[in-house]
Amino acid sequence: MSLKNNELIEKNQYELTFDVDKATFDAAVDRAYKKAVKKINIPGFRRGKAPKAVVEKMYGKGVFYEDAINDILPAAYSEAAKESGLTIVSQPEFDVETIDENGVVFKAKVFVKPEVQIKDYTGIKVDRTIVPVTDADVDAEIAKVQSRNSRMVDVTDRAAQNDDIVNIDFEGFVDGVAFDGGKAEGHDMKLGSGQFIPGFEEQIVGHNIGDAFDVNVTFPTEYHAENLAGKEAVFKVKLNGIKFNELPALDDEFVRDVSEFNTLDEYKADILAKLTEKNQKTADNEVEDALLNALIEKLEADIPEAMFETETENYVRDYDNRLRMQGLDLSTYFQYTGMNLDTLREQMRPQAEKQVKTRLALEKIAELEKFAVAAEETEEEYKRIAEAYNMEIDRVKEMVEVEALNADILVKKASDFVKEKAVVTDVAPKAE
């Protein structure tokens, strides 16, 4: 197996010509024959016992060529691609040029990584907006914890009010006639939730358990049931029960129950610190995104469409894997959402394009700045991956080639360099 020629046929596209010697091809043909002959019936021979020459005479000399080519092509192409020294960024388009007494000659059209230019990538100016944490933000977080630790309490000594959960029987009438879907018994609803037709829940407020009363409403003109849209209706309602969520008292005892702190002040201080850190990370992420967008604007490259298509497929595969971790798959997801593979690709495409352009920009910056990866940095990254995925480090090394790992490290160095050299100005949030 050897590379005979690599020729630039158009911008960023090469044609590789490589061959496989006759002995290697004949051996692949023999393997294909031995695999297929078990299913071949030839008159005068027991099933699976017909000689290769007899099968070829009956079905043609090339009867096993396709299987033989599929057998030898991956390794032959891989060797030729490596020998070419090209940075190939697409799946190859193969063609068999000749099959003769010398073996097989293949051609493969591939796209390669484009030439990239980028300037003025240091000193990029960007604003950072860190949203301050207010007392209201802290109170809102505590309220969530209170809600999670609340308990449902029956009400027997007062009328229904907003935020209560009431249990009702009801039946709806239009022009004195009951309509389909307008009747239920033992239905729970939270008053003020907007679950029912506008005006319905408000008319339950103030009633007591056991009350039977009418609720008068008008269906919205855009109501999904056309026969009811815009119609006035009367609901006969009976109030069966009232409950409400009783929140725990906001005191030191509550704090000890829900956290490792002893006092409410300590708990509030911790929430304040965590929210502040969260807002800081959000602001830093927005700065990083703005810097990457700026790099993309400065990037000059004629990027092959194949790079965008390949990255889009990577995003689709990654999404499928994440769905499978949740017990789903793409087929089920499409049934739920009404999407298909093409619409998912279309949805993933913008982010895939951004990823391709960002990486090209950062790789070029790493090259221009002459960044290098030390052996200890490579080993540290293998260790980090092993710990993140709870795997043996030797297993990680089997799965992740050192060249690919070092390329990622260089991209990370370039990204850190751009952030370090950026001119970041902290600004106050814009008024709502």
Q: Which residues pair with 6 in a beta bridge?
A: 16
In this predicted structure, the answer to whether residue 47 has a pLDDT above a threshold of 90 is no
Q: Please compute the mean of the pLDDT values over residues 410-425 and round it to a whole number.
A: 96
Question: What average pLDDT does the structure give for the chain?
Answer: 93
Alpha carbon distances (Å) from 311 to 109, 219, 244, 330, 355:
19, 50, 52, 18, 8
What average pLDDT does range 49-56 have in this prediction?
Answer: 88
Model pLDDT, residue 41: 83
| Per-residue model confidence as pLDDT tens digits over 5-39 | 999 999 999 999 999 999 999 999 999 999 988 88
| Domain edges within the chain | 2-112, 151-246, 262-427
Residues 275 and 154: their CA atoms lie apart, in Å, by 36
* pLDDT per position as a tens digit, 109-167: 999 999 999 999 999 999 999 999 999 999 999 999 998 999 999 999 999 999 999 99
The DSSP annotation for 231-283 comes to -EEEEEEEEEEEEEEEPPP-SHHHHHHHSS-SSHHHHHHHHHHHHHHHHHHHH
CB 18 within 8 A of CB 2: yes
Please tell me the predicted confidence (pLDDT) of residue 398: 92
Please check the confidence at residue 313 and state whether its pLDDT lies above 80: yes
pLDDT > 70 in the chain, percent: 100
d(CA 419, CA 288): 7
| pTM of the predicted structure, to 2 decimals | 0.74
Q: pLDDT by residue (tens digit) across 335-348?
A: 888 899 999 999 99
CATH number of 262-427: 1.10.3120
CA distances, 28 to each of 17, 33, 38, 68 (Å): 20, 9, 17, 5
Q: Assign domain 2-112 to a CATH class.
A: alpha beta
CB of 145 closer than 8 Å to CB of 323: no
* Range name among 74-78, 220-224, 272-276, 370-374 with the lowest pLDDT average: 220-224
- The pLDDT, as a whole number, for residue 225 is 83
The pLDDT value given to residue 388:
92
138 Cα distance to chain centroid: 31
- In tens, the pLDDT along 155-211 reads 999 999 999 999 999 999 999 999 988 899 999 999 998 888 899 999 999 999 999
What one-letter code names the amino acid at 219?
F
- Give per-residue pLDDT as tens, 79-118: 999 999 999 999 999 999 999 999 999 999 999 999 999 9
Q: What is the pLDDT of residues 347-358, one digit of tens each?
A: 999 999 999 999
- pLDDT for 1 equals 65
Using 50, 70 and 90 to split pLDDT, how confident is the model at 46? confident
pLDDT of residue 417: 97
Q: Is the pLDDT of residue 263 over 80?
A: yes
Q: Which residues contact 407 (CB under 8 A, 6 or more apart)?
A: 363
Is the domain covering 151-246 a CATH 3.10.580.10 domain? no
Question: Is residue 432 pLDDT above 70, yes or no?
Answer: no
Whether the CA torsion 134, 139, 145, 147 is positive or negative: it is negative
